Amino acid sequence: MKSLCLGPFLAASAPVGRRAYGGHLSRKCFQKQLHFHSRCVAFSSFICSATISVMPELEEKQVFDGEKANLLVKDLRKSFDSGMTKSYGWRVSQLEAIAKMLEEKEKEITEALYKDLGKPRLEAFITEISQAKSSCSEALKELKEWMKPEKVNTSITTYPSSAEIVPEPLGVVLVISTWNFPFLLSMDPVIGAISAGNAVVLKPSEISPATSSLLANLIEQYLDNSTIRVVEGAIPETSALLDQKWDKILYTGSARVGRIVMAAAAKHLTPVILELGGKCPAVVESDVNLQVTARRIIAGKWACNSGQACISVDYIITRKEFAPKLVDALKEELEQFFGKDPMESKDMSRIVSPNQFARLVNLLDEDKVSDKIVLGGQRDEKKLKIAPTIILGVPEDAMIMQEEIFGPIMPIVTVDNIEDCYSIIKSKPKPLAAYLFTNNEQLKKDYVDKISSGGMLINDAVIHVATRGLPFGGVEESGMGCYHGKFSFDSFSHRKSVLYRSFDADSTISVGRRKGRSFQEANEESHKS
């Protein structure tokens, strides 16, 4: 039996699709209202206060099904159609609210990321919170310029006339985020969608439940709930959302689910942005600064959410004779990063779930791989931790070379000539990112020219995503579409062509046609004039 609390000044229950929240009732409102919160059902009015017993059935979780999803979209579309989201004032107010949220709730965000992934405080701030702040700050600074129509020259055919390209919001958009950077990969696209003037539904990942719950609470608390909503849940809730008609969908996650999202979007001819991932290679030539290279690879692999990142270095290709030196440098620098016993390090994230842990262990324990481990391999199932692991001379047909690793395991593939890297990389789907470490200028040019990837970075890893002037997106199986900064604004906008003509004059061609002359005669007269 649970209690039903009767108390004054409690808020009304939220509309469909919103989480209930506290607040004061209008003095005009004396009717009794239900407020669902935790394990207590609060039942409020201005005129009574008591505690009674209720049946447990009243606390059953409401199912978010297709009907509720449809009502949610209709509600948001009504708000969008009112024109409120198109104004500069509304966009700025929401961006300022996000900036305020990021300042005031930094501790809560960090704590949620630690609960979900064991992310160290510094890593959480650098890779998630500060990046969201940067995105929000840029949008506030540049929004007025982004919203300006772009003037376009017109031709003699349309004289007298003027033309422009007007960026307009698409409408009601869906953002489905993922678990590895659950805060950043939720808020960054939401910031872009708001900047472009859209109504937004965010579906956070259920695999990072603490961050998902926090996002739902914070967005309800800080943002306009008539235009920006959060739907929590797993496959049933996501399926209910995907059945609806959206004006754009941005999904971050696996290629397998990306296909499902794209198929659902195709039913409504909805455009999609898919950020998927893949096996991101790092080619290391023997002419590098070895210590700097090792540190940057570590930062782009083990210090980046324990390798659970779509742009993380997935495997290394280097010369056979140089590989032992590279392994020694990685060993030395890993000890500097995580100490002699990395399993006890507080500077390394844990594996997100038992399922992911078991998958990684299976990759390590494969017969073709287990005897080639030259560093690490320790694992702790209770703590969901795997030590930084290096595998030297892994065969191409091993499972670990067939799928994205998404964990703290680094295979090193050796070649006789560094140019052999091209055939290895091209034998796999195009990656989201490709890295090269070398001082050879010709090799740099050839790598950029020959390797197709979503993004590319020479002599470092991962940090290209922090450059707001660069688009972030994949190609083929690593994704489609892009966002970040102005690219986010453009991706959530339609560039509408507008031509303005005057009644003051008419072209010689049209006048000539009205007089019965042939098109050729009128055209010749037009050229003479």
Closest to 369 measured CA to CA, from 330, 418, 402, 324? 402
Strand ranges across the sheet with 389-392: 373-375, 389-392, 409-415, 315-319, 281-284, 433-437, 455-458
Can 304 be counted among the known catalytic residues?
A: no
Say which of 136, 280, 304, 310 is annotated catalytic: 310
User: Is the pLDDT confidence value at 2 over 90?
Assistant: no
Condensed to tens digits (0 to 9), the pLDDT of residues 353-411 reads 999 999 999 999 999 999 999 999 999 999 999 999 999 999 999 999 999 999 999 99
Class (C level, CATH) for 66-276+486-491:
alpha beta
Can 421 be counted among the known catalytic residues?
A: no
CATH architecture classification, 281-472: 3-Layer(aba) Sandwich (3.40)
User: Is the pLDDT confidence value at 30 over 50?
Assistant: no
Say which of 138, 237, 275, 477 is annotated catalytic: 275
Q: What is the pTM of this model?
A: 0.84
pLDDT of res. 35: 34
Per domain, the residue ranges of the chain are: 66-276+486-491, 281-472
- Residue-wise DSSP of 451-502: ---SEEEESSSSGGGG-TTS-EE--GGGEE-EESTHHHHHHTEEEEEEEEE-
Condensed to tens digits (0 to 9), the pLDDT of residues 91-137 reads 999 999 999 999 999 999 999 999 999 999 999 999 999 999 999 99
Residue type for 23, please? G
